Amino acid sequence: MHPRHVALATEDELSEAVGQKLISMTNGKLAATLLLRQGGQGYLYKRIKNFCEMSAHQPVILITDLDNSKHPHELITKWLGKLQKPKQLIIRIAVREIESWVLSDHAAINTLLGKSIGKIPENPDTLADPKSTLLSLAKKAPREIKADLVAQSGTVARQGYGYNRVLIEFIKESWCPIRASERSDSLKRAIHRIQELANNHHQ
C-alpha cells in the first residue's frame, strides 16, 4: 500500500527534522510530502485556520513548543479560539521546547557531546529552558562541537553558527525517539498519535 501523504508544520529547522524522524517511524505508512515552515511560532499561530482547512484533504501534523504557556491544552485552546479542531489536524507540543525532546535521549547526547559533560537532566520536560540546558552542556563538550553549538563570547547570538546543522544531523543519525520517549511524556504522546494516524489509515 502507498504511504499516506501528510503535511508537517513546524516552527524551525530542528523541529522539522524531529517531525520527519517521528513520521519515518511509521514504516512507510506515512510520508511528509509537504513541509510548512517559515520560522517561528507566530507563523503557525497565524495559519491555524489554513491548517484546519487543509486537514480536510490530508492529515496535518503540527509540532510546536509550549514555551511560556502553562499547559498544552491552554495553548491549543488559545490557538483554535472558536474553531473546531478537525480529526486530521494533529497538534503535538514539545514541553517546553523541542530541545527537551533532543535532551531526552541521554545515550545519544553523550555520544554527541562526550561523557565529560556531567549529568543530563533526568526529566527534560520539567526544565524551564531546555535550550539553555543543552547549550550549558555543550560548553563542556570537545572543542569542535562546542565551537559549532555555542555562540562565541561577545556575540549577540544565543547559539553557535553550526547549531542547526549539527543537531539536525544528530537527529537524523543518532537520536532515537523511542529511547527519548522514556524520559519525555510529551514526546511519548506525540509518537503515539502519529502511530495511531498511520495505523488507522492501514487497517
**Domain definitions of the chain by residue range:** 4-97+184-201, 100-180
CA-nearest of 65, 49, 58, 46 to 87 is 58
pLDDT for residue 115 is more than 80: yes
Residue range 55-67: mean pLDDT, rounded: 97
pLDDT interval class at 203 (50, 70, 90)? low
Taking the C-alpha atoms of residue 13 and residue 5, their distance in angstroms, rounded to an integer, is 20
pLDDT digits (tens, 9 = 90+) for 156-167: 889 999 999 999
CA distances from 161 to 41, 101, 125 (A): 21, 21, 26
User: For residue 39, what pLDDT is reported?
Assistant: 83
pLDDT interval class at 155 (50, 70, 90)? confident
pLDDT, averaged across the chain: 96
CATH class of the domain defined by 4-97+184-201: alpha beta
DSSP state for residue 155 in the 8-state scheme: -
Residue range 19-34: mean pLDDT, rounded: 97
pLDDT interval class at 113 (50, 70, 90)? very high
Residue range 59-73: mean pLDDT, rounded: 96
In the chain, the percentage of residues whose pLDDT exceeds 90 is 93
- Burial of 43 by CB count in 10 Å (0-12 exposed, 13-18 middle, 19+ buried)? middle
The answer for residues whose C-beta is within 8 angstroms of residue 163's C-beta and 6 or more apart is: 148, 149
pLDDT interval class at 202 (50, 70, 90)? low
pLDDT for residue 77 is more than 90: yes
User: For residue 111, what pLDDT is reported?
Assistant: 97
- Could you tell me the end-to-end alpha-carbon distance of the chain, in angstroms, rounded to an integer? 11
Residue range 34-44: mean pLDDT, rounded: 95
Residue range 36-59: mean pLDDT, rounded: 96
